[in-house]
Structure formats: structure tokens, C-alpha cells
A and B are shown apart, each in its own frame.
Chain A
């Protein structure tokens, strides 16, 4: 057997093109055909004619589609090209997908966040495909001397039905690329879609399932050094440190302090992990201790104090509450949460004089670029950003902290540097879902109508803790929504479905509490409020009443709401990021323990581009919401989370995931986004079902740590 000496030189060859490095999106099947020579993307692009920023076609008929937005599992790298290919009438088997670098001249909004990519780009993508198709058809019309309208297209060909002639797009590209692109172009009627709405497979499957380098952590550049960083606890700074032990570890070439960070540098990762533990760093406080005990006190002060800002006010709540027959009051609370994508933070930076090359997993390449430029005092145009595949993001990679420190180290060391965060660094290094506490109050009249509604939200670095214009605003005569924030050293950031990831649970639980006092069925209670908002709206309405009603009715129907007395159900509905999702949780009592058996979801996200991708987002969002509601908890002491890895920070596992039924509203409206909206309703549906099964109300997360359930175990189980 041959013996291979370690040779890393050519692992992870990034395909280099004129435009910079690119990641390759493989077509699973095109690699399999024995007859077709598989060309590299460079070979293909070399002969291709570019029709627009998204699209090039070769004389052989291969279609290359650029995907500009970072891919972190939302399936954009597959679904964006599907939309372009649809309007082009491309043969999907001949489509190659290429991840674009940051390119502000050619693309807008190269961001993954806010469930906004598809809503933003839907029409642009369609136009990109349709414009190219128009040119190809025009070229065929010229060539055959027939009218444009006598031609049609199918699977990468222009067809002249009258004569039975067909011609491949490839044969038309040279002529077509000479023609002037039209200002306006006709788009398909959605009923004619052939690719959109079908379960097209993920374009990176082959690479992912055979272990090819795709992710930021896989990136390697000859001559680069590795670095890991010890960051300070929140509210602390470095007092002193002794790096002698760390420097003695073989494979460590440098220990560098920059700001409050101490970096260990070397040629591979493992020695750095050891060296980081061997750094004897003493810290001193710069503020009151960041601890869960102190945060608890702060929450009480904020909710009882008078600092809250009014976010929305309708009618006169004081009068409503004075005249109320009954008042319901309840508080809900959630802890800080870590994003914990499976791929920990990492980034590659190479500062070369006044230019910088960045490579890595970021949800916001433009921000990475701008912050790098700001740090170095150079023009943003001098920074290039290559976007790798992201091993999850959940909002954590919207920040650029992990980019900036790589840039800073590269400048100090004057070398290409890859900074890798250990799991412990990732979990203790900040930018969490903020901890929030809510106080709800409802005033009911003698016949059980909700005549007053108050919400005060208090958060730690949470910004506005409310969504003041969301339901039930607009359906209640007297309403007051307030928010108050405490500024802390604990860093926070958007976490999948920011704010609503917890607000929805709290609000939907509280509405059930009110419905019970009002002696109304929870579904009917919500529908009555919506009907009220429709006929006599109070103030401005910022949600679509009919779409919300649609998902409520679909979820009730599909879950057979209230029909089986042995199945205890919980309802929840929420509007976030332009889409609507209603969910029903089914809980059954077994040996006196509540067992979560099933979740039924009804979603209105407009046109479903890729049903597999959509199911992934709905199920994934529900699993995410369920797991974090059940288990997620970061508690602080001395400025650091006590939970530092997955042994103490519990994530949901396969055995804990019940059946999930997914249904969609088919209304033909343009896509409204789905990366986040399925998550918010989940916690409320589960809590409401558990209440109906046990009579015990879950008012804080994580559920498994609630005192009221110390004699009970909440189980989740596949049916």
C-alpha cells in the first residue's frame, strides 16, 4: 500500500475565476453520466455568455446561475436558481449553481436574515430569467425568419410548433447576446410554472454527503496561521496574564493581547485549544456583576418602574380597567439563549497592505466588508468577501465581531489568519437571544369581552421587546403596549425570529388564559377578535386579517380541533416577517405524565417555491422552537454563562421530536418568506396543550426547569 506523507497543499482548492474565488455547487447527476465529460465551473464559465448578473449560458447549453445570498440551510442556493430557471425555461439538469462573492455592483441585499431574501428578489430573479429567454427566442425568430409569437420554449430549447423545428439555447447564445435587452418583459402566469413548486434537490447535496470542503471552517490557504482567542467575561477586563505555560505548548508560535482579547497562534488547531486553557488570565470587573441573580432584580425593577416607553396606545386603558368585571394578569419570562449553530464561528482574513481578503461564513458579507474597512481605515472597495456555505446561523452570523478580530490579527501578524472559535468560545462569547420578561393584563366586561389589554415588556439589551402593531392590536378598544430596556455588557443579537420567538409564546399563552376566564373556546376567541378587527378596527391594522383567519381555520380543520376528548390540544397563531402560521399541539396523558405527540401547522407564506425546502423551514422552525422552549437556558455568574457546551446546554435530539404535520394555504400570492415564521407559534401551542392536559400553566422557559413540573416530566414522542 502506498504511503502518503502529509500534504495539505491542495486540499480545498477554491475554484478561482476572474471574478475571484468561488464555491462550486455540484449537480449530483451531471457527475454521473458516463457519456458527458464533466466540465469544471471555470471551463464552463470561460465559454459562457453572460446575460445578466444572475445568468450565463454556454454554446453547449449549460446554464450557470449565480446565487448571491449566503446559504445557511434556508435553501436559497437551490430556490433562487429555481426561480431564474423557471422563467428561462431552462433544463434543470443542465443548470449549475455558483455561490457569488459579495458584489455590490451586481446584486442587492446579499443578506440572510429577516426571512426577506425571496420576497425581495422574487421579481428580480424572474426578470433575469425572462429577459434572457426573450433574447434567445428573438434570436431564434431572426434565424428562422418567423415571428416571435410563433415560438415557444421548453427545457432549454426554442420550439417552432408550426414547422416542428427545435433549437437548443446554446446554439442561440452568440446571436442572442448581441441583441438589446428589453426594458420590460412578460413574466409567466404562475399556473404555467414547471420548476417552481416542485421538490428540486439541494444543489450542494453531493458535496455535503461526500465530505467536500464547503464550509468556512474547511477553508485552508497555504501559508496561513491558525488562531484562537480568549475573550473576556461580560463586564470584565484583563488585569494580568501569564502566558509562559501556553507558549511552552508545542505548535504555539505566538501569544498576542489585543484589546481585552488574548490570542494564541500556531499552525494547527489542537495545540491552540490546549494553549487557550493554559493561559492564566486574571480579569477585573468594569461594572456590576453580570449574573442571573442581578438580572432577575433588574427585571422586577423595570416592570414595576416608570421608565417604560409607550409603543402604542388606543382608547383609554385606565378607564377600561377601572370599569372591568374581571382582570387577568400574568407574567412570562425567558432566559438568554445561545444561537449555537453546529459550525462554530470562524473566519479567514488576509490583510495585504491596504487590501483585505476575507473568506468565511457570514450572513452579512457587506457588513463584514464595511467593518473590516472601518477597522483598518481603508475604502470598503478594497475588501473582498468570499461567502462560504454556513453551518447554520440563526442570526449569530449577522454580526461581524468574528470577522473584525480575524482582520485585526492578520494585520498584527502580517499573515493570512484563520480564527476558529471552540464550542466553548461560541457559547460564552456572546451575542445571545436577549432575556425578556412580559407583564400582560386584560380587562373583561361582564359578558366576557376583552375591553382592555396591556402589555409591558422588559428586556436586557433587547431593543423594543414588543411588536406593538401585531394582533391583538386593532381588535381591542383600549390598549397600551410599553417597552423598557436595561443596557448590559452581555451582548445580544437577532436570534431566529427576533423578539417574536418568545413574545409569541407569551402572548398566545396569555390569550388562552383570557379565553378561559371569558369562558370561550380558544380558537373561537381568536376568530372573534379578528372579526372585530375587521368590522370595527381600532387604530391602524398592520397585519392581514384574512390571511391570519385562513391559517387559523386550516389548522383547526387539519387538527380536528376539539373533537377527541382524550387528546388535549393547544392552539397558537402568529404573524411574523410577512407570513402567517397557526399551530396545534396534541398532548396525551400517559401514566399521569403529559406526552407531546404531534404538532399540526398551517402556513401562509404565499407561493411555495420548493416544497422540500418549505417543509424543512416549517419543521425545522418548529423543532427549533420546541427544543429551546423545553430545554434552552443560559444562566450567568461572574459575567459568564455557566453552560459552556452541549453537555450542559441542552439541544433537542431525535427522540424528543414528535410527528409534525405541515399544511399550506394555496393562495397564489408572491412568496412572503419562511425562514422564521414557523418558529414563534410553537412554544404557545405546546404550553396551551400542556395546560389543557394538566391544569398547570407554563409561564417561563425552559419548561423542564419549572418548579410546577418538578413532580412531572413533559415527554415528547413520535406517535
Chain B
């Protein structure tokens, strides 16, 4: 076990875990930030997507030891009041079915719009293709990302 200092959602945390522990489980089991979801654990579904230094990353395959002064943002810290343009668009389009994949979808979309504020439909699809939605909300996700880009 070792102590790791983490910067998450603008706050400093210290956790005492094995160094191979994925960020996902540090968030969920040790910090109570359960908005980031587990589904595959092998970088196939995107349910665990967080931002690391502004980029969308799969927290299930990101060992805590690989993070140093990196800035981690999770769905809980995407905005203070749930009013990030992507969150607003998700509400307006009413994207979710079961909702389990949606935090990851929102994080992927927010990272895309940060690096490319006016993505084409093809660019939206390229970025979002890494996130699975078993309920099949893909049409709504496309629509919501396009709407968020207009905000």
C-alpha cells in the first residue's frame, strides 16, 4: 500500500491503496464518487470516462500510480450546478433510458467539445463511438452533442 495525492474536481485527496488500483475504484470505493461507472473494466465501453488534464480517459485502466499532478475531473465535478452545456443538452433532449452509461457519454462529449467546439456529425460519431449504450440511445446522444455544440 502507498499514499497517493490526487487532484480531483479541484480538490486535493489522499488515498492509501495498492499502486495498481485503477482510478475508477479509487473514485468509487475510496472517495465515494460513484458517478463514474464500472461496466467492462478493459477500456471497451466508456462507462468509466473521466477527464485527465482535459482529455477523455477510461479510468478503469488508469492506475492510480500513473497520476501525479494530473487534474482529474469526474461527472460530479463537470459543473457546479449540473449546468454544463452538455448536461443541459442531455436534459433538453432527454437522452437517457436506464442512464447507466450516460455519465460516461457526457464526459466523452464534454471532452470532444473542449477540443473541437464545432464538430461535424462524423467527428461526433468518431468521438462517441468509444462509448457503449446497451439501451440504444445513440440517436439521442448524437442529437444532444450537436445541441450542446450550439450552446
Q: Which residue numbers of A lie inside 8 Å of B, CB to CB?
A: 1-8, 10-12, 28, 71-75, 199, 201-202, 204-206, 208-215, 217-218, 220, 226, 250-251, 268-271, 273-274, 340-344, 389-394, 422-423, 612, 616, 619-624, 627, 645-647, 651-655, 657, 660, 718
* Residues of chain B from 120 to 134 with CB closer than 8 A to chain A in the complex: 121, 125-126, 128-129, 131-134
* C-alpha gap A404/B130 in the complex (Å): 35
**B residues less than 8 Å from A250 (CB atoms):** 1, 18
> A270 and B82: CB pair below 8 A?
no
**B residues less than 8 Å from A655 (CB atoms):** 125-126, 129
**A residues less than 8 Å from B139 (CB atoms):** 619, 657, 660
Cβ of B58 to closest chain A Cβ, rounded Å: 12
**B residues less than 8 Å from A269 (CB atoms):** 25, 28-29, 38
Cβ of A252 to closest chain B Cβ, rounded Å: 11
Given known A201-B91, A344-B38, A654-B142, contact A220–B32 (CB-CB < 8 A): yes
Nearest opposing residue in chain A for B131, CB measure: A654
The reply on B103 being an interface residue by CB < 8 A is yes
> A3 and B134: CB pair below 8 A?
no
Number of interface residues of B (CB under 8 A): 68
> B42 and A645: CB pair below 8 A?
yes
Partner of B138, one of A4, A28, A654: A654
Nearest opposing residue in chain A for B38, CB measure: A217
* C-alpha gap A652/B139 in the complex (Å): 13
**A residues less than 8 Å from B20 (CB atoms):** 270, 274
Given known A12-B32, A269-B28, A422-B41, contact A623–B18 (CB-CB < 8 A): no
Nearest opposing residue in chain B for A218, CB measure: B34
> A652 and B136: CB pair below 8 A?
yes
**B residues less than 8 Å from A2 (CB atoms):** 11-12
**A residues less than 8 Å from B31 (CB atoms):** 6, 8
Cβ of A187 to closest chain B Cβ, rounded Å: 27
The reply on B45 being an interface residue by CB < 8 A is yes
Nearest opposing residue in chain B for A390, CB measure: B98
**B residues less than 8 Å from A391 (CB atoms):** 37, 98-101
Q: Which residue numbers of B lie inside 8 Å of A, CB to CB?
A: 1, 10-18, 20-22, 25, 28-42, 44-45, 47, 74-76, 78-79, 82, 87, 90-91, 94, 96-103, 106, 121, 125-126, 128-129, 131-142
Nearest opposing residue in chain B for A657, CB measure: B138
Q: How many A-B residue pairs have CB under 8 A?
A: 212
> A654 and B39: CB pair below 8 A?
no
> A389 and B82: CB pair below 8 A?
no
> B29 and A612: CB pair below 8 A?
no
> B12 and A3: CB pair below 8 A?
yes
**A residues less than 8 Å from B22 (CB atoms):** 270
Nearest opposing residue in chain A for B64, CB measure: A270
Cβ of A224 to closest chain B Cβ, rounded Å: 11
Name 19 extra pairs, CB < 8 A, besides A201-B91, A205-B94, A423-B40.
A3-B13, A4-B14, A10-B32, A11-B32, A73-B135, A209-B102, A210-B76, A210-B87, A250-B18, A268-B29, A270-B17, A270-B25, A390-B98, A392-B97, A393-B98, A616-B140, A647-B44, A653-B138, A718-B125
**A residues less than 8 Å from B18 (CB atoms):** 250-251, 270-271
> A653 and B12: CB pair below 8 A?
no
**B residues less than 8 Å from A8 (CB atoms):** 29-32
**A residues less than 8 Å from B78 (CB atoms):** 210
Chain A binding site: helix, strand, loop or mixed by DSSP? loop
* C-alpha gap A16/B76 in the complex (Å): 23
**A residues less than 8 Å from B136 (CB atoms):** 619-624, 627, 652, 657
**A residues less than 8 Å from B37 (CB atoms):** 215, 217, 342-343, 391
29 contacts between A and B (CB under 8 A): A3-B13, A8-B29, A71-B98, A73-B96, A201-B94, A209-B91, A210-B82, A211-B103, A213-B34, A218-B28, A218-B34, A250-B1, A268-B30, A269-B25, A270-B20, A270-B21, A342-B37, A342-B98, A342-B133, A342-B134, A344-B38, A390-B98, A392-B97, A393-B98, A422-B41, A623-B136, A654-B128, A654-B131, A718-B142
> A392 and B134: CB pair below 8 A?
yes
> B94 and A342: CB pair below 8 A?
no
Cβ of A560 to closest chain B Cβ, rounded Å: 21
Given known A211-B75, A212-B35, A270-B22, contact A6–B13 (CB-CB < 8 A): yes
Cβ of A153 to closest chain B Cβ, rounded Å: 27
> B76 and A341: CB pair below 8 A?
no
The 3 closest A-B pairs by CB, nearest first: A211-B35, A11-B32, A623-B136
Given known A209-B102, A646-B132, contact A73–B90 (CB-CB < 8 A): no
**B residues less than 8 Å from A268 (CB atoms):** 17, 25, 29-30
**B residues less than 8 Å from A210 (CB atoms):** 35, 75-76, 78-79, 82, 87
**B residues less than 8 Å from A75 (CB atoms):** 97
* C-alpha gap A4/B8 in the complex (Å): 11
Output the residue of A2, A199, A209, A616 with the most chain B CB within 10 A. Answer: A209
Given known A2-B11, A211-B76, contact A646–B98 (CB-CB < 8 A): no
Cβ of A80 to closest chain B Cβ, rounded Å: 16
Nearest opposing residue in chain A for B45, CB measure: A646
Partner of B102, one of A7, A28, A208, A226: A208
* C-alpha gap A212/B33 in the complex (Å): 8
* C-alpha gap A616/B102 in the complex (Å): 14
Cβ of B16 to closest chain A Cβ, rounded Å: 8
> B29 and A270: CB pair below 8 A?
yes
**A residues less than 8 Å from B97 (CB atoms):** 73-75, 392, 616, 620
* C-alpha gap A344/B134 in the complex (Å): 12
> B100 and A215: CB pair below 8 A?
yes
Nearest opposing residue in chain A for B10, CB measure: A1
Output the residue of A74, A208, A621, A655 with the most chain B CB within 10 A. Answer: A208
Output the residue of A72, A199, A620 with the most chain B CB within 10 A. Answer: A620
> A646 and B47: CB pair below 8 A?
no
Output the residue of A7, A343, A645 with the most chain B CB within 10 A. Answer: A343
**B residues less than 8 Å from A647 (CB atoms):** 42, 44
> B39 and A211: CB pair below 8 A?
no
Partner of A389, one of B39, B41, B98: B98
